[in-house]
Copies of this chain bind each other. A is one copy, B any other.
Amino acid sequence: MSAARPPVLQPGATIGILGGGQLGRMLALAAAQLGFHCHVYAAEDADSPAFDVVQTWICAPYEDRAQLAGFADGVDLITYEFENVPAETVDFLAARRAVLPGPAVLARTQDRLIEKSFIAGLDIATAPFAAVSSPAELAAAADAIGLPAVLKTRRLGYDGKGQAMIPGNGDPLRAWDTLGRAPAILEGFVPFEREISAVVARSRDGHLQSFDIAENEHRDHILKLSRVPAAIAPNVAAQAHEIAARIANAFDYVGVLAVEMFVVREGSDTSVLVNEIAPRVHNSGHWTLDGCSVSQFEQHIRAVAGWPLAAPMRWADVEMTNLIGAEVHDYARWLGVPGAAVHLYGKDEARPGRKMGHVTRVLPRTL
A residues with a Cβ closer than 8 A to B are: 11-12, 25, 29, 32-37, 51-55, 290, 293-294, 302, 307-308, 310-311, 313, 315-316, 328, 331-332, 335-336, 338-346, 348, 357, 362, 364
Contacts and interface: CB of A to CB of B under 8 A. Distances in A.
Contacts of A35: 331, 344-346, 357
Q: Which of A51, A53, A336, A364 counts the most B-chain CB atoms under 10 A from its CB?
A: A53
A302 B331 CA distance: 12
* Shortest beta-carbon contacts, A-B, top 8: A35-B344, A315-B315, A11-B344, A32-B53, A35-B346, A308-B335, A308-B336, A53-B53
A340 B34 CA distance: 12
Contacts of A348: 12
Copy number in this complex?
2
B32 A52 contact: yes
A52 B33 contact: no
A52 B37 contact: yes
A46 to B, nearest CB: 11
A335 to B, nearest CB: 5
A344 B33 contact: yes
A313 B52 contact: no
A341 B53 contact: no
A316 B36 CA distance: 28
Contacts of A33: 29, 341-344
A346 B12 contact: yes
Q: Which of A52, A316, A331 counts the most B-chain CB atoms under 10 A from its CB?
A: A52
Nearest to A294: B341
A351 to B, nearest CB: 15
Contacts of A331: 11, 35
Given A25-B32, A29-B32, 20 more contacts: A11-B331, A12-B346, A29-B29, A29-B33, A33-B341, A33-B344, A34-B342, A35-B331, A35-B345, A35-B357, A36-B346, A37-B346, A51-B55, A53-B54, A293-B362, A294-B341, A307-B332, A308-B335, A310-B340, A313-B338
A328 B12 CA distance: 12
Contact of A290 (B37, B293, B341, B345): B293
A133 to B, nearest CB: 44
A290 B307 CA distance: 20
B51 A339 contact: no
Q: Which of A11, A29, A340 counts the most B-chain CB atoms under 10 A from its CB?
A: A11
Contacts of A332: 307
Contact of A311 (B25, B32, B338, B346): B338
B313 A335 contact: no
Contacts of A316: 315
6 contacts: A33-B341, A33-B343, A34-B344, A36-B346, A293-B341, A311-B338
A307 B294 CA distance: 27
Contacts of A293: 290, 339, 341, 362
Nearest to A8: B332
A364 B53 contact: no
Contacts of A313: 338-339, 362, 364
Q: Which of A344, A345, A357 counts the most B-chain CB atoms under 10 A from its CB?
A: A344
A197 B341 CA distance: 25
Contacts of A307: 332, 335
A285 to B, nearest CB: 16
Contacts of A32: 25, 29, 52-53, 346
